[in-house]
């Protein structure tokens, strides 16, 4: 039976979300909401991918929320010991956000299935097929960014 693209993508999103929530309950981190995990993901990504790193301002801009809403969430994550603030050496007014070791380890655990899947795809498909898959995913990324 041929797979329907829409069904497979919906199933992927559903399964990934359910597995993330199960992981939260399995690790006993009940005080950490799914929303908090998503914030940690965004902070981690910006910390690695943006030259300026992650700040409350960049977080607010990315999520299209107010700076005060981002500040409140960051304060909660700091209080939970998951995020640290560090003053920029170049501009002392700028506070960069970093994941603590505890948060980094937790995100690595969430990412294990993702990393295994990447390895399977890369070992199963040709580089050209992987590039085609990447181009397809980029179409989805572009459409989501256009909408939001």
Domain residue spans of the chain: 5-147
Smallest CA-to-CA distance from 113 within 36, 18, 6, 46 is with 18
The encoded tokens of residue 24 equal 């939260």
Residue 133's pLDDT is 95
Cα angle for residues 81, 39, 64 (degrees, 5° grid): 135
CA–CA separation, 7 and 42 (whole Å): 27
Q: Answer yes or no: is pLDDT of 137 > 70.
A: yes
Partners of 99 in beta bridges: 83
Confidence of residue 64 (pLDDT cuts 50, 70, 90): very high
Residue 36 or residue 19, greater confidence: 36
Residue 92's pLDDT is 84
Q: Which CATH architecture has domain 5-147?
A: Orthogonal Bundle (1.10)
Q: Answer yes or no: is pLDDT of 126 > 90.
A: yes
SS3 of residue 68 by DSSP: helix
Q: Answer yes or no: is pLDDT of 117 > 80.
A: yes
């Amino acid at each position: 039976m041929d797979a329907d693209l829409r069904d497979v993508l919906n199933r992927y999103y559903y399964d990934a979300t359910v597995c993330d929530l199960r992981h939260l309950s399995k690790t006993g981190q009940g005080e950490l909401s799914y929303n908090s995990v998503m914030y940690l993901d965004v902070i981690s990504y910006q910390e690695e991918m943006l030259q300026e790193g992650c700040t409350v301002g960049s977080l607010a801009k990315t999520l299209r929320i107010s700076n005060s809403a981002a500040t409140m969430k960051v304060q909660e994550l700091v209080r939970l010991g998951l995020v640290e603030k560090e003053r920029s050496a170049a501009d002392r007014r700028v506070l960069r956000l970093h994941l603590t070791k505890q948060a980094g380890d937790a995100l690595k655990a969430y990412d294990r299935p993702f990393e295994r899947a990447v390895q399977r795809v890369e070992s199963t498909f040709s580089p050209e097929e992987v590039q085609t898959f990447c181009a397809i995913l980029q179409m989805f990324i572009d459409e989501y960014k256009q909408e939001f």
